[in-house]
């Protein structure tokens, strides 16, 4: 196996593991936890077990004030995403969170003066139509709160990406570990106050949630990026939102609490995916053109998750 092929395989494995978020969050054995508390409890324990795996990877820890907004945004992103996951379908939650590139683009253009490309407008327009399609139908039902949390997850996810972009010269493992440690620390008083503790079987699931779904994929993704470009890795990582509802269906479609994606979720999610793919293709085309120019400097590559 070539180095590039091995890198693609590592990124694909990371995306598949990330896509297991719905499998863990939608597990029926957590239904004994109150819905109002479930997202915080899941976010806390996932962060705890992810930290156990990630902290030993840190090599160059360094304090900088930029860690504070990054960590706070990461905490909110975790809470809002898992709140969406527990209040609406897994497909709604993951696709609404994947509107993050739209918010990153808008902030970059409005506040950072970044140039606009044709692929960027495809991303914004298709993303907006896709979200609007989901909102029009979901706001008529009982899952309105889940949709709102999903949108907030996408916005705060964008904030995490922008924060990490500003901290790109810091040790990536350090940034990832800080985010998860901060999540566990901020949420711990609430968890202790509620006094809801996992039993043996729940603890096994939570360990897998933190280590296999959150911690290990970052390790694989970082190693895969050594052999593939950031744009290619971002394209492979789109497996995650596609697979999230698949795993939930295969694992829990027989459970009474299972919420199948509605047809408008497929349409809206498909539009968001189309925007992401067009943006990715445009970025790859620009990267290939720049690489063929003799006087072009080395370009900056990035990952879909940016190490969040």
How far apart are the C-alpha atoms of 107 and 212, rounded to whole Å? Answer: 32
Asked which of 52-61, 87-96, 129-138, 167-176 is least confident by mean pLDDT, the reply is 129-138
Residue 37 three-state SS: helix
The model's pLDDT over 215-239, given as tens digits with 9 standing for 90+, comes to: 999 889 988 988 887 767 878 888 9
H or E, element range at 12: helix 3-18
Look at the chain and count its residues. Answer: 308
Task: Check: pTM over 0.85? Answer yes or no.
Answer: yes
Count of helix runs (H) and strand runs (E) in the chain: 14, 0
Q: Helix, strand or coil for residue 165?
A: helix
* 8 Å CB contact between 179 and 50: no
Mean pLDDT, to the nearest integer, of 125-134? 90
Confidence of residue 295 (pLDDT cuts 50, 70, 90): very low
Which pair of tokens denotes residue 232?
């290619």
Work out the average pLDDT over 80-100: 93
Instruction: Give residue-wise pLDDT tens across range 43-69.
Output: 999 999 999 999 999 999 999 999 999
What pLDDT score was predicted for residue 232?
78
Candidates 197, 217, 187, 225; CA nearest to 77 is 187
Q: Specify the long-range contacts of residues 196-202, CB closer than 8 Å, at least 24 apart.
A: 196/33, 196/34, 196/37, 196/41, 198/45, 201/29, 202/29, 202/30
Residue 290 has a pLDDT of 58
Structure tokens at 96: 């609404």
SS3 string of 112-145?
Answer: CCCCCCHHHHHHHHHHHHHHHHHHHHHCCCCCHH
Please give the average per-residue pLDDT across 263-283, as a whole number: 89
Confidence of residue 105 (pLDDT cuts 50, 70, 90): confident
């Amino acid at each position: 196996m070539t180095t590039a092929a091995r890198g693609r395989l590592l990124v694909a494995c990371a995306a598949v593991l990330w896509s297991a978020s719905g499998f863990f969050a939608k597990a029926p054995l957590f239904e004994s936890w109150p819905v109002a508390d479930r997202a915080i409890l899941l976010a806390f324990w996932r962060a705890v077990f992810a930290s156990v795996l990630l902290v030993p990877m840190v090599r160059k820890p360094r304090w900088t004030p930029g860690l504070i907004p990054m960590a706070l945004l990461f905490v909110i992103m975790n809470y809002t995403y898992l709140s969406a996951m527990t209040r609406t379908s897994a497909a709604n939650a993951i696709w609404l969170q994947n509107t993050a590139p739209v918010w990153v683009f808008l902030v970059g253009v409005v506040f950072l003066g970044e140039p606009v490309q044709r692929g960027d407008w495809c991303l914004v327009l298709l993303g907006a139509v896709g979200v609007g399609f989901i909102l029009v139908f979901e706001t008529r039902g009982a899952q309105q709160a889940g949709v709102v949390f999903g949108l907030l997850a996408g916005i705060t996810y964008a904030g995490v990406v922008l924060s990490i972009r500003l901290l790109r010269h810091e040790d990536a493992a350090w940034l990832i570990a800080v985010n998860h440690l901060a999540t566990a620390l901020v949420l711990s008083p609430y968890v202790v106050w509620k006094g809801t503790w996992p039993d043996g079987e729940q603890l096994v699931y939570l360990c897998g949630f933190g280590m296999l779904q959150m911690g290990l994929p970052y390790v694989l993704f970082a190693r895969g990026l050594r052999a593939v470009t950031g744009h290619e890795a971002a394209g492979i990582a789109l497996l995650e939102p596609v697979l999230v509802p698949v795993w939930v269906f295969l694992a829990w479609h027989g459970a009474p609490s299972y919420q199948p994606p509605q047809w408008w979720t497929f349409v809206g999610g498909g539009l968001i995916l189309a925007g992401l793919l067009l943006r990715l293709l445009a970025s790859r085309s620009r990267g290939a053109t720049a690489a063929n120019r003799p006087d072009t400097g080395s370009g900056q590559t990035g990952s879909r998750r940016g190490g969040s």
